[in-house]
Copies of this chain bind each other. A is one copy, B any other.
């Protein structure tokens, strides 16, 4: 393991002060031009040197005929050129003294035969000059805090706490919008491509040392350095959770992965075992991968398996209870203290069990403050699973039918929303237990949106919420198992 993040070959790649870009032009349809567009879009603050054999300017930046003409030695070379000239470009970069590169170009090992030979050549040239590089056949890196994004798509949203290494560039770029919709973001995300020089293990080391990364996400089609992967992961997990989505365990997945990055996949159970040994939580889809990251990155303290459910509707409560049971989570009975505290708050038609079903409660605000406060204090439970519906819209509608003037309703609605939002935030910040929401409302529903933007995880439907609670509990077990093995050594 590296001592400091600056010892990682990925440090200058993820945080360059200057970039030479090969392949950007003034032609809109080229990949290189698109990448330069992304870099400009995010407002990169370092130097950018387009290298172009004919142009004097590229997208209004001064261009250079050759990398050898540059006034300084850039931190990183970004190469987006036809396959046949990548090696000679790498050689020129080496002669200039450049020590780090990102090779976007494809046409190497992933196409087989001559591609394999070309990739060997590229590696030899880089080794000759001591250049460390990401790729080929990747889409680069994004470090939104550093205003760096070398990928084809514009970064959306704010920087976040998810550090990612992905064997699919699409699962970096095509998740920008997805993450931003969930008020999540990347600390740094690497698309590793064919891993000819820098691989997913190097990414793990970097992300482990990265102070902005709270949780590490991996998308895997095949692992090359198995032993190093396991050892590195085991050294990270006690400090930081790692979540992985592996595609390749099914025959159809394996074939698709092979033509994609040329990685050799293994049977599912082999990877299952490797992840377990590494202390890695396995996700079953990309969406689940980010769900679990959301939960683990938002979590204060440890998670347990004893859940208390708060609902005001029987069906959503029963579905959540059922999902808990199927996932091995427990629904403890409420303690007599809790029942005593809830009794005055809950109507007689409601159920003071677990789920706690408020039905149409006596005072709407109790649902957002008093009741969850009591439940977060329940000594028999580790986590509060909380159902969000839409009482405000219904209340507004009723006021309308009562003839309350619409300007009064319009004034009242934001006040109610503020009160509910602040009550929940206050609970989450002062409570000592995880709070997880579920809903069938849109992530753009006013209350849901505000809470999500304040970092509270709220999932579509109870199954996804239950899965992340289970994963958080699984993390504490995996971590403790590694720690106990270490202490016995």
Q: List the interface of chain A (C-beta within 8 A of B).
A: 26, 28-29, 31, 33-34, 36-38, 40-41, 59, 106-107, 111, 152-154, 166-171, 174-175, 177-178, 181, 219, 221, 245, 247-253, 255-257, 259-261, 284-287, 313-326, 331, 349, 351, 353, 355, 357, 360, 389-390, 393-394, 397-402, 440-442, 444, 460-463
Contact = CB atoms under 8 A, between A and B. Distances in A.
Most chain B CB within 10 A, of A38, A154, A249, A397, is at: A397
A103 to B, nearest CB: 14
Number of identical monomers bound together in the oligomeric complex: 2
A479 B285 CA distance: 31
Contacts of A255: 321, 331, 353
Contact of A314 (B168, B400, B402): B168
Given A286-B461, A349-B111, A37 B318 contact: no
Nearest to A107: B349
B322 A249 contact: yes
B440 A355 contact: no
Nearest to A359: B106
A219 B441 contact: no
10 contacts: A26-B402, A34-B398, A37-B397, A38-B397, A107-B349, A111-B349, A245-B319, A248-B322, A250-B322, A287-B463
A313 B106 contact: no
B247 A174 contact: no
A318 B353 contact: no
A89 to B, nearest CB: 18
Contact of A247 (B169, B287, B318, B399): B318
B315 A252 contact: no
